[in-house]
Amino acid sequence: MLVKYILTGGQEAECKRAIPLLENVNASAVLADRAYDTNELREWLECRGLNNHQLKLVGSYNGLKPGYGS
């Protein structure tokens, strides 16, 4: 299993590091925290042959389970 990481500052948005982390990785699916859910990442993955069903986002906002309220 390939593991890559980039250490970021506490106030930096991690989603800005998603594409650099995934470059040169031959993946058939991506599992990420919901904080990485950006149009830019979805479009980048789509250009590489991954669709929305292959991007799995986990976590919740405001303590709610995904898909339940806001």
The whole-number pLDDT of residue 68 equals: 42
pTM above 0.85, yes or no: no
The whole-number pLDDT of residue 61 equals: 52
C-alpha to C-alpha distance for 8 and 22, rounded to whole angstroms: 16
Per-position DSSP letters for the chain, written without gaps between them? ---------TTS-GGGGHHHHHTT---S-EEEEGGG--HHHHHHHHHTT--GGGEEEE--STTPPTTS--
pLDDT (tens digit per residue) in 5-31: 777 787 888 788 889 888 888 888 888
C-alpha to C-alpha distance for 30 and 1, rounded to whole angstroms: 13
User: Which region among 19-23, 51-55, 58-62 has the lowest average model confidence (pLDDT)?
Assistant: 58-62
Give me the residue spans of the domains in the chain. Answer: 14-58
The whole-number pLDDT of residue 69 equals: 41
